[in-house]
Amino acid sequence: MMRIPRNQGPGMKRNSDMSGPRSQKRIRTGGGGGDDPALRLLIPSKVAGSIIGKGGKNISRLRSDYNAVVQVPDCSGPERVVSISADYETAVKIVEQIVPCLDEFFSSGKGEVDIRLLVHQSLAGCVIGKGGSKVKELREKTSAKIKIFGNCCPQSTDRVVSIVGSPEVAINGLKEIIDLLKETPPKGYSEPYDPQNFDEEFADDYGGFGMPGSGGGGGGGGGARGPVWEPPPPRGGFPPPPPPTFRANIPPPALPRFSRDSGPPDSQQVTIPKDLAGAIIGKGGSRIRRVRSESGAEITIDEPLPGSNDRVITIKGSPDQIQLAQYLLQQSVRESQSRY
């Protein structure tokens, strides 16, 4: 079996004799370009050593056994990205080899793992579906707990899809999602997430892993966290929650390559618990009108589907308008929570 030269990355041309399974349909999650995009997973840095192995033994075996490009770039922060460039079936087999490492990190007595798939923001709607119908169907079909975080990872166009369940259930959930995405190319500008841009303050919002001992993100283990915007605790008898982490003088995170109204129109969908709709809409629609005015984005809030506790917010506009709208919506929720 031919080995891939060490300096050959996912964007470099392969030798003509590396055909066979490598010519099958490839996965398009928005992490690469041309004919060789990669499946990318967000992982806690603590498990990177287990995936790489002593002296790179484990990752070399994966590359050799599956004739694939597998990379785990170094990062000093609490999270890293695993990039797998291979055909669909091979990539899933490699993830199956990685899952035991995640199982050690997420062990919480439930035997569940949390696979966090990075997808281009334009593909999130494929997983959510109209009014949240597709993600509900995926949950029922696979029994996996599937969440699409509403905010992009810092300084990127990537969003995190969290797939939680037993190793077998989580892998089946991953397969179903890849089936949805592999025929749909990402649209618009693409900036893959670089974990060097990790932002502890917003880790819970985009599905990242917090610094050890900080309580932020997912650094403490224990599986997936809740939706992007958590509902406030009940009032009766409970002490008020601490002030929100949002500080009004902090500008919204932005991609510096964009001007506020640059780029072609795009669309994103965010799922929220229906109990939070009032905090976003405001009295007489005052808050949502302000967000629309300040961001320049078109924002609609769907009614929940029968039997669903989620509502879907659709945001349309340029990349900067969408990102600013997400930030302002989140600010509205946090301001509402601070009153309890």
Lowest mean pLDDT among 43-47, 112-116, 246-250: 246-250
Non-local CB neighbours of 24 within 8 Å, separated by 6+ positions:
87, 88, 89
Higher pLDDT, 60 or 26: 60
Range with the largest mean pLDDT of 72-76, 267-271, 300-304, 322-326: 72-76
Would you report the helix, strand and coil content of the chain in percent, each value rounded to 5?
A: 40, 15, 45
Place of tokens 């599905």: 207
When pLDDT is averaged across residues 67-96 and rounded to a whole number, the result is: 93
Residue 72, pLDDT score? 94
pLDDT band at residue 94 under the 50/70/90 scheme: very high
Higher pLDDT, 294 or 44: 44
Residue 130, pLDDT score? 87
Phi/psi for 22 (5° steps) reads: -70, -15
Q: Which residues of 129-159 are buried (b: 16+ CB within 10 A; e: fewer)?
A: bebbebbbebbeebebbbbbbbbbbbbbbbb
Residue 71, pLDDT score? 94
- Identity of residue 243: P
Mean pLDDT score across all residues of the chain: 75
Contact (CB, 8 A) for 331 and 296: no
Residue 339, pLDDT score? 53
Q: What is the pTM of this model?
A: 0.59
Q: How do residues 131-182 score in pLDDT, each as one tens digit?
A: 889 999 999 999 999 999 988 999 899 999 999 999 999 999 999 999 998 8
Q: How do residues 252-286 score in pLDDT, each as one tens digit?
A: 444 333 333 444 568 888 888 888 888 888 887 88
Q: Which residues pair with 95 in a beta bridge?
A: none
Higher pLDDT, 45 or 242: 45
Domains of the chain: 38-206 (3.30.310.210), 266-338 (3.30.1370.10)
